[in-house]
Amino acid sequence: QVQLVESGGGVVQPGRSLTLSCAASGFTFSSYGINWVRQAPGKGLEWVAHISYDGRNKYYADSVKGRFTISRDNSQNTVYLQMNSLRPEDTAAYYCAKDVEQYSGYPMATDYWGQGTLVTVSS
Amino acid sequence: DIVMTQSPDSLAVSLGERATINCKSSQSVLYSSNSKDYLAWYQQKPGQPPKVLIYWASTRASGVPDRFSASGSGTNFTLTISSLQAEDVAVYYCQQYYSSLITFGQGTRLEIK
């Protein structure tokens, strides 16, 4: 069965860095784009970033562009989110989610989500 | 950015009754070259990640009960639950993926009356 497992969250001071991982299994990982979506405590969903199935295309929300970097290792079935210059407003649960359809070069609807990893940015 | 606005913000419906949630986009999400609306609906229960219900505006995701349906095109969309069940209590979000900058609606909280 399809599984996405996020890791790497924790408490970090403002201005510091953190890298999240999303380990995937149960599907042909190299055929699907992956998204990161975050949710601040008690708030709605905010899309963060998308990487295409082959890693060639990457897209970012304006709120994280220039600070966050998405990457993937298809040999390890893993997607990463490198987060630099963290701010208190980046505090959220971060979910990775798989595209509904294969071989999309662009962000699209997502069908499977991980359980999320919590990032808290606080001094 | 495309702004997605849902209405109402919260909704209370009796068990077995119909629930309707609306979503309006600030610009059309209909891609003319393939006649597809780049619109999805998600359900999020407390303490759980979101679950996709509908994509391409009206395509029900695998395993989603047929009491969930969706309609609309262009800028106006509707999610309908034909006969509300207790397990449908959740927050519902619409999402556009027409733009490479994906945006979600603010969410609609659905409760039992």
Higher per-residue pLDDT: A105 or A30: A30
**Confidence band, pLDDT 50/70/90 cuts, at residue A59:** very high
> CB contact, 8 Å: B11 with chain A?
no
* C-alpha distance from B1 to closest chain A C-alpha (Å): 9
Select from B49, B62, B91 the Cβ nearest to the Cβ of A95: B49
A107–B95 C-beta distance less than 8 A: no
- What's residue A107's pLDDT? 94
Structure-token pair, residue A8: 């790497």
User: In this structure, what are the phi and psi dihedrals at residue A112, rounded to the nearest 5 degrees?
Assistant: -115, 135
Q: What would the mean pLDDT of B39-48 be, rounded to a whole number?
A: 97
- Residues of chain A in contact with residue B91, where contact means CB-CB under 8 angstroms, are 44
**Confidence band, pLDDT 50/70/90 cuts, at residue A86:** very high
- What's residue A85's pLDDT? 98
**Confidence band, pLDDT 50/70/90 cuts, at residue B51:** very high
A115–B95 C-beta distance less than 8 A: no
Residue A82: name the closest of A101, A73, A74, B100 by CA. Answer: A73
Structure-token pair, residue B104: 């979600």
Q: What would the mean pLDDT of A98-119 be, rounded to a whole number?
A: 95
Structure-token pair, residue A14: 């403002």
Structure-token pair, residue B23: 């979503």
- What's residue B15's pLDDT? 97
What distance in Å separates the CA atoms of residue B67 and residue B15, rounded to the nearest whole number? 13
- Residues of chain B in contact with residue A92, where contact means CB-CB under 8 angstroms, are none
Q: How many residues does chain A have?
A: 123
Closest-approach residue (CA) in chain A for B47: A115
Q: Angle at the Cα of B8 (from A117 to B39), degrees rounded to 5?
A: 60
* Whole-number percent of chain A with pLDDT over 70: 100
> CB contact, 8 Å: B111 with chain A?
no
- Residues of chain A in contact with residue B50, where contact means CB-CB under 8 angstroms, are 37, 45, 95, 97, 113
- Residues of chain B in contact with residue A110, where contact means CB-CB under 8 angstroms, are 40, 52
Structure-token pair, residue B99: 């733009």
**Confidence band, pLDDT 50/70/90 cuts, at residue B64:** very high
A17-53 pLDDT, tens digit each: 999 999 999 999 999 999 999 999 999 999 999 999 9
- Residues of chain B in contact with residue A35, where contact means CB-CB under 8 angstroms, are 102
**Confidence band, pLDDT 50/70/90 cuts, at residue A113:** very high
Q: What would the mean pLDDT of B17-24 be, rounded to a whole number?
A: 98
- What's residue A25's pLDDT? 97
How buried is A47 (Cβ within 10 angstroms: 0-12 exposed, 13-18 middle, 19+ buried)? buried
- What's residue B37's pLDDT? 97
- What's residue B19's pLDDT? 98
- What's residue A64's pLDDT? 98
For chain A, percent helix, then strand, then coil, each to nearest 5? 5, 50, 45
